Amino acid sequence: MWSFFHKLGSPPWLFGIAGSILRWLVPITLIALAVGICWGLLYTSPDFRQGNSYRIIYIHVPAAVVALAGYYVMAIAGAVSLIWRMKMADIAMKSCAPIGAALTFLALVTGSIWGKPTWGTWWVWDARVTSMLILLFLYLGVVALYEAFDNKAAASKACAVLSLVGTVNIPIIYKSVDWWYSLHQPATIKFTDESTIDPSMFYPLLLMIVAFYGLFTCAMLMNMRVEILARESRTKWVRKLVGG
Amino acid sequence: MYFDSVSAAIDMAGHGGYVWSAYFISLLVIVYLLLLPRLRQRSLKLQIAGELRREAHAAALHESEGPTVTSPGEN
């Protein structure tokens, strides 16, 4: 167990293992995305109330779910880097932020496009939309904070604190549809109760959620590899790797 | 396929503009997320390789000039 943690802290080991995971994870993710997109776009029947506009769900929900989960990953990595000063945790935290921002942006934009035919407006200051917008600013805040410091250690500490403080927002997003009057519908996929979504819509949605988790993981591992290379550019193993 | 024709799939009973534009933006984000790190890694490797070449060149130059080069402090 401890040797695993030791390996996790070793840049060349992490660089190599991330590379070998990416070799099979990227094709699987791309296939899952392609199948899920075609399934949702062309092969499911329309919603009886929303018509075809509901097909945006296959992008909107996975993007939002993974954007939230990604925040936890970033905050946990931040905590590890803050407490144990683990360099690789800092790299993981830094790698999450731009991906989370892109997915939150995607969830907001697709939600806005879906809102027009369904709610009759592009934007509404609804509790869930507003808390998602805050999530976007938190992600962008971490990205910007990294750039703002010249001192790497100080940047990493500040970003870890920001991401930890920001976790307060996550349960608010989850619970926003129950706590406030909202245009968003309450959850239709439930773990403890029977889901109120039709299986013909549920399976493609589930596939897309899994595919988006794959997308997040791939992008994060790729970002980590770049960051490791950049930070270790003066070391022997990187020079050997590049020099061949 | 649920739709009878390609044009029906594009139109989606009037919702086509919304649905297709949402999917198009998603595609752009997916490509951005997967392609950008790849491009950054490539340019970083080129940059490191360039540094290595420059260093090797400088070392070779230093060696060829060898003992004839003396710094002012040594005289």
Please indicate if any CB of chain B lies within 8 Å of the CB of A230: yes
Size of interface A-B (CB pairs under 8 A): 102
Q: Is the Cα dihedral A198, A203, A205, A206 positive or negative?
A: positive
Per-residue model confidence as pLDDT tens digits over A188-197: 766 666 667 7
Q: Which of residues 111-130 of A touch B (CB under 8 A)?
A: 113-114, 116-117
A57: which residues sit within 8 A by CB, 6+ positions away? A40, A114, A201, A205
Residue of chain B minimizing CA distance to A231:
B44
Phi, psi dihedrals of residue A51, rounded to the nearest 5° = 70, -140
Percentage of residues of chain A with pLDDT beyond 90? 55
Which two structure tokens, joined as six digits, stand for A63?
């993007």
The answer to whether the beta carbons of residues A64 and A107 sit under 8 Å apart is yes
Between these two residues, A195 and A167, which has the higher pLDDT value? A167
d(CA A114, CA A63): 14
**Within 13 A of A121's CA, how many CA atoms are on the CB side?**
6
**Which range has the worst mean pLDDT, A136-140, A233-237, B6-10?**
B6-10
Mean per-residue pLDDT, B39-58: 92
pLDDT number for residue A9: 77
Which two structure tokens, joined as six digits, stand for B6?
């390609």
Contact B37 A229 (CB under 8 A): no
Residue A231 clears pLDDT 60, i.e. is over it: yes
Please indicate if any CB of chain B lies within 8 Å of the CB of A26: yes
The answer to whether the beta carbons of residues A224 and A14 sit under 8 Å apart is yes
pLDDT number for residue A22: 96
Between these two residues, B65 and A193, which has the higher pLDDT value? B65
pLDDT number for residue A52: 81
pLDDT number for residue A242: 86
Residue B72 clears pLDDT 70, i.e. is over it: no
Structure pTM? 0.90
Mean per-residue pLDDT, A101-110: 96
Which two structure tokens, joined as six digits, stand for A94?
């830094």
Q: What confidence tier does A42 reach under pLDDT thresholds 50, 70, 90?
A: confident
Chain A residues within 8 A of B49 when measuring between CB atoms: 242-243
Mean per-residue pLDDT, A51-60: 88
Residue B36 clears pLDDT 90, i.e. is over it: yes
Residue A57 clears pLDDT 80, i.e. is over it: yes
d(CA A76, CA A67): 14
Q: Could you tell me the maximum CA-CA distance found in chain B, to the nearest angstrom?
A: 91
The answer to whether the beta carbons of residues A53 and B13 sit under 8 Å apart is no
Contact B16 A52 (CB under 8 A): yes
Residue A218 clears pLDDT 90, i.e. is over it: yes
ipTM above 0.85?
yes
Chain B residues within 8 A of A225 when measuring between CB atoms: 37, 41
pLDDT number for residue A126: 82
Per-residue model confidence as pLDDT tens digits over A5-34: 777 778 999 999 999 999 999 999 999 999
Contacts 24+ apart (CB under 8 A), A176-183: A176/A127, A176/A128, A176/A131, A177/A127, A177/A128, A179/A127, A180/A127, A182/A126, A182/A127, A182/A128, A183/A115, A183/A119, A183/A124, A183/A126
d(CA A16, CA A240): 14
Please indicate if any CB of chain A lies within 8 Å of the CB of B15: yes
Percentage of residues of chain A with pLDDT beyond 70? 94
Contact B26 A59 (CB under 8 A): yes
